[in-house]
Amino acid sequence: MYLGIVKGTVVAERKAAGLEGTKLLLVQPVDEHGTPVGDLQAAVDRVQAGEGDLVYLVGSREAALALGEHPRAGGGGAPAGSARGAEAASPRGIAPWFVPVDAAIVGIVDGVDAPKQAPTSAKGNSR
């Protein structure tokens, strides 16, 4: 998981199955001081974040899990992202529907308690 700042929105009319109705935002990954790290990316929003918000995201396969079970897989409406939803999915033997995303905003950050620090060496990618 990593921090990011919402920079804007992405509008896409034609999307892959599973992405219908999802809100896509442009996010700049940042460090704990708000310094940009790496390149801008598009992420699915799960928490109604707005432009300028400091958020945290989850990447890779877990981003698809943030969207929960897809209605088409038998979840019946709202994404069941909670543990309860996961348990409910298993007994019915329904495999989670994996939405093709690799970044999802899963929280709006209210504060980070990080001491001020001199800039360190080159930042790489470690998510």
Partner 1 sequence: MRCCRVVGPMWAAVKHPAFEGRPLFVVQPLDDRGADVGASFVAVDTVQAGVGDKVLVLTEGTGARQILKMGDIVPIRSIIVGIVDAMETSP
Residues 57-116 binding partner 1 (CB under 8 A) are 58-63, 65-66, 68-69, 80-83, 85-87, 89-90, 96, 104, 106-115
Size of the site for partner 1 (CB under 8 A): 50
Residue 46's CB is within 10 A of a number of other CB atoms, namely: 21
Q: Which is nearer to partner 1, 10 or 112 (CB)?
A: 112
Q: Which is nearer to partner 1, 26 or 73 (CB)?
A: 73
Of the candidates 42, 26, 52, the one whose C-alpha atom is nearest the C-alpha of residue 102 is 42
**Cβ proximity of 73 and 96 under 8 Å:** yes
Contact residues for partner 1 (CB under 8 A)? Answer: 1-3, 29, 31-32, 37-38, 46-48, 56, 58-63, 65-66, 68-69, 80-83, 85-87, 89-90, 96, 104, 106-115, 120-121, 123-127
